[in-house]
Amino acid sequence: MPTYLPPRLGIQYSEAVAEAMASAKVGDPILLTLEVYRNGWVDETTGAQAIARVVNDYRVLYAALEDDAPYNAGETVAFQPVPFRYVKQEQTDSGAPSGVSIEIDNVSQHLTSLLLQDKTSREPLHLIEREYLPSDVSAPHVLPVTKLTLSDVEATVTGVTAKASFGDLTNRRFPVDTYTRERFAGLTAR
C-alpha cells in the first residue's frame, strides 16, 4: 500500500486516505472498524478464539488486517455492520491520556453474549480501531492501528457502552527494560 509522506510522530497515512481527507469522494467514505477481544473468549460454535469485529456501515466489510494483528494477521476478515458512536475525548494540558467513549447498538447481541461470558476475568478487554476505504480494503489506511483497553463496560438489552484508553500509564513500570547483570554486564563491579 503506497503511503503519503514519511511517518510523522509514528503515524503514516495511505495515499488513498490522505486524498479522501483532502477531498472526499462521494460513495468512498472512510469506514471506521472496531475489533473487541479478550484472550480466553471462546466461540461457542467452533471452540476457537472469539473476536467481535464491527464496521460503522450498513453492509458487511471484508478487509485485510495488518501483518502484525494479534489474530488473523494479514488475512481478510469480515466486519459486521453495526451502528456505533465513537467519540474521541479532547486532549488536555493536564497530561492525562485522552480516551474514547463508545456506544455500540447491539443488534445481534453477539457482543453482549461475549461480554457476559466471563465477567469475573481479570484479563483486560482489548479494542483495535482501524480505518478503511471501500475502494481499497487491502490493509488499514492508518498505521499503526490504534490499540486501546476497554473499561467501564456496560451491556444492556439495547447496546454496549464503554470507555477506552491507552491503559493505566501511571502505574506502568518505567523504564520498561529490567536491568540485570546478565543482560547488562557493565552493571557488575570489576
**pTM: predicted TM-score of the whole model, two decimal places:** 0.73
Tell me how far CA of residue 20 lies from CA of 26, 85, 182, in angstroms: 10, 21, 51
- Cα separation of 78 and 55, whole Å? 9
- Cα separation of 89 and 156, whole Å? 23
Cβ atoms of 15 and 2 within 8 Å: the answer is yes
80: closest CA among 61, 104, 103, 94? 61
Of these ranges, 78-82, 159-163, 180-184, the one predicted with the greatest mean pLDDT is 78-82
- Reply yes or no on whether the pLDDT at 66 is more than 80: yes
Indicate if the alpha-carbon torsion angle 56, 138, 144, 110 is positive or negative: positive
Residue 76 confidence class, pLDDT cut points 50, 70, 90 = very high
64: closest CA among 53, 72, 56? 72
pLDDT of residue 125: 87
The residues facing 162 across adjacent strands are 102
Q: How many CA atoms lie within 13 A of 3 on its CB side?
A: 13
